[in-house]
């Protein structure tokens, strides 16, 4: 089992780091959307804990860690407090949101996969739940912020694919019994870098072949058609 490689303290530390960076991304988005202090705290909590909460409910780890570990609850509040007082000018926060979100994506796809496997799921199911852990909080964040989640928008840069790659690296490392600190870091960094590259080069998933849709194209796409 993975607990032989990752002690509870290490797993907990990875979770806390992931929670913090995801909470930062949620709080920064709240600032950009002009939310008040309560809204900043709520968006930080939801972004940080949403994916992990879903994972714990699926694997039967109840009550979920978000409700039994005070550190899980207080970490997003600390992130929200830091953002409330130290955030850059609102119009300049999008880059920071993207960086912190990519970092959380990389960390959570790894910790979600390992925890699911520790609770008896197979490799494919564990990787799938790792993906859900990584993107779940971001989906809830976007919904609360009144935005269509990036996960399902064809006109947004790749979001789930980097998490899939990171989770797959973990699953393959488990399969070939090479999961250790180096391969874990490789999975996190790969997902993180892929997400940032997708944002920089605007990599997007293809839509249906020869599609016919009545949905309106964005103004910039019409202009270049």
Q: Is the pLDDT of residue 100 over 90?
A: no
Q: Are 48 and 76 in contact (CB under 8 A)?
A: yes
Q: What percentage of the chain carries pLDDT values higher than 90?
A: 61
Instruction: For the chain, give the number of residues.
Output: 225
Average pLDDT over residues 133-147: 93
Least confident residue range of 71-80, 95-104, 171-180: 95-104
* Tokens (6 digits) for 67: 């409700």
pLDDT digits (tens, 9 = 90+) for 150-161: 888 888 899 999
> In the predicted model, what is the mean pLDDT of the chain?
87
Task: Give 179's DSSP letter.
Answer: -
Q: Is the pLDDT of residue 133 over 90?
A: yes
Q: Is the pLDDT of residue 6 over 70?
A: no
**Upstream peptide bond of 63 is cis (omega within 30 degrees of 0):** yes
* Closest C-alpha to 8, from 79, 125, 114: 114
Give whole-number Cα distances, 97 to 2, 27, 55, in Å.
32, 9, 23
Q: Is the pLDDT of residue 4 over 70?
A: no
Q: pLDDT category, 224, cuts 50, 70, 90?
A: very low
Q: Is the pLDDT of residue 220 over 50?
A: no
Task: Give 217's DSSP letter.
Answer: P
């Amino acid at each position: 089992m993975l607990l032989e490689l990752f002690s509870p303290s290490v797993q907990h530390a990875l979770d806390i780091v992931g929670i913090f960076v995801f909470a930062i991304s949620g709080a920064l988005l709240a600032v950009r959307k002009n939310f008040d202090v309560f809204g900043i705290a709520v968006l930080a909590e939801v972004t940080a804990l949403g994916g992990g909460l879903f994972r714990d409910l699926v694997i039967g780890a109840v009550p979920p860690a978000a409700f039994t570990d005070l550190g899980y609850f207080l970490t997003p509040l600390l992130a929200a407090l830091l953002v409330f007082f130290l955030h850059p000018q609102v119009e300049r926060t999008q880059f920071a949101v993207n960086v912190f979100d990519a970092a959380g994506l990389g960390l959570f796809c790894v910790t979600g996969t390992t925890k699911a496997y520790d609770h008896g799921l197979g490799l494919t199911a564990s990787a799938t739940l790792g993906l859900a852990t990584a993107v779940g909080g971001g989906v809830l964040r976007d919904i609360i912020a009144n935005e269509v989640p990036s996960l399902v928008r064809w006109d947004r840069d790749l979001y789930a694919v980097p998490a899939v790659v990171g989770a797959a690296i973990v699953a393959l490392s488990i399969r070939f019994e090479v999961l250790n600190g180096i391969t874990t870091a490789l999975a996190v960094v790969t997902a993180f870098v892929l997400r940032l590259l997708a944002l920089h080069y605007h990599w997007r998933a293809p839509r249906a072949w020869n599609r016919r849709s009545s949905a309106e194209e964005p103004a910039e796409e019409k202009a270049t058609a």
